[in-house]
């Protein structure tokens, strides 16, 4: 059996690169973000983005491409002190490109294989096993174009929305129907194939475009967090998240 055949017959390679979305304006986090990018807002004594990057490092993610826009110099300086994972900056100072456009802009830095997408403000407490490792093990490129980490919309800390997705027994996701509360909310963590961006528009666009295309092809899947997800979207939510952390280690 040659190497190519062996690779195809075995399990898919786990992604070792991540796109970290850190270019947003953080308007709902004002006044904390008047002079500080949201990824640098501290929760439990550590910047939000460092919580995410630490989890990436623990999961064996070697390279993180971080996009910057708002107060980019401050964020770049902050990231320069990290030793792992390797940080590569994707510069969006000229134009904020939203989630989808930001990833498309960074594709030359991300390589040719599937990669993680991590919101820089995604914040969670792992369960028995780290979520990023579980996501990598669950990834199946034969069936999936995207695999989203999802949390319970009913038990998430700081979240007061109506959920994002329904999930069938095989893990396939569908959008929440109107006037229905969906059981699962997207955590801002995913694995995605780069080829999905081949026919996307230039400039700014949302990842929701690709979510909907994957749903239409029945290739959008989810994996439920077995820990606790915290939506840290406002200054008031910080205290809730810190209390949840303290309770988890008490």
- pLDDT range class, residue 155, cuts 50, 70, 90: confident
Least confident of 7-11, 102-106, 111-115: 7-11
Strand partners, 152: 184
Question: Are the beta carbons of 102 and 21 closer than 8 angstroms?
Answer: yes
The overall average pLDDT reported for the chain is 91
Taking 60 as the threshold, does the pLDDT of residue 141 lie above it? yes
Least confident of 1-5, 33-37, 113-117: 1-5
What digits encode the pLDDT tens for the residues 35-75?
A: 999 999 999 999 999 999 999 999 999 999 999 999 999 99
Q: Where are the beta strands (DSSP E) in 95-135?
A: 115-119, 123-125
Give me the torsion for CA of 55, 60, 63, 68, rounded to 10°. -10
Taking 70 as the threshold, does the pLDDT of residue 2 lie above it? no
CA–CA separation, 159 and 231 (whole Å): 5
Provide the pLDDT for residue 3: 36
- This prediction's pTM: 0.91
Provide the pLDDT for residue 150: 97
Instruction: Annotate 182-214 with b (16+ C-beta within 10 A) or e (fewer).
Output: bbbbbbbbbbbbbebbeebeeebbebebbbebb
Strand partners, 63: 17, 86
* Whether CATH 3.90.550.10 fits 11-249: yes
130-137 average pLDDT score: 96
Taking 90 as the threshold, does the pLDDT of residue 126 lie above it? yes
- pLDDT range class, residue 243, cuts 50, 70, 90: confident
CA–CA separation, 74 and 111 (whole Å): 27
Provide the pLDDT for residue 24: 93
What digits encode the pLDDT tens for the residues 205-242?
A: 999 999 999 999 999 999 999 999 998 989 999 998 89
CA–CA separation, 129 and 126 (whole Å): 6
What digits encode the pLDDT tens for the residues 86-112?
A: 999 999 998 999 999 999 999 999 999
Residue ranges per structural domain of the chain: 11-249
- First-to-last alpha carbon distance for the chain, in angstroms, is 52
Residue 9 is inside which H or E element, if any?
helix 3-9
CA–CA separation, 86 and 56 (whole Å): 11
Phi-psi sector, 45: left (phi>0), alpha (psi -120 to 50), beta: left
Closest by CA to 163, choosing from 144, 147, 148, 183, is 183
- pLDDT range class, residue 6, cuts 50, 70, 90: very low
């Amino acid at each position: 059996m040659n190497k190519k055949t062996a690779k195809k017959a075995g399990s898919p390679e786990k992604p070792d690169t991540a796109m970290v979305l850190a270019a947003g304006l953080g308007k709902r986090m004002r006044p904390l973000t008047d002079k500080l990018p949201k990824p640098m807002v501290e929760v439990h004594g550590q910047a939000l983005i460092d919580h995410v990057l630490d989890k990436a490092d623990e999961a064996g993610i070697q390279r993180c491409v971080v996009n910057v826009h708002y107060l980019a110099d401050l964020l770049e300086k902050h990231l320069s002190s990290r030793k792992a994972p390797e940080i590569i900056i994707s510069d969006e100072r000229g134009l904020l490109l939203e989630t989808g456009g930001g990833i498309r802009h960074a594709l030359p830095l991300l390589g040719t294989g599937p990669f993680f997408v991590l919101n820089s403000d995604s914040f969670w407490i792992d369960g028995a096993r780290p979520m990023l490792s579980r996501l990598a093990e669950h990834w199946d490129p034969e069936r999936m174009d995207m695999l989203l980490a999802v949390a319970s919309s009913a038990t998430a800390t700081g979240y007061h929305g109506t959920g994002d997705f329904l999930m069938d027994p095989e893990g396939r996701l569908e959008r929440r129907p109107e006037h229905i509360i969906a059981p699962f909310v997207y955590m801002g963590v995913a694995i995605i194939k780069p080829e999905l961006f081949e026919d996307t528009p230039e400039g700014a666009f949302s990842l929701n475009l690709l979510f909907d295309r994957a749903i239409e092809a029945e290739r959008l899947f989810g994996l439920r967090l077995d820990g606790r997800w915290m939506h840290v979207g406002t200054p008031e939510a910080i205290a809730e998240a810190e209390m949840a952390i303290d309770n988890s280690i008490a």
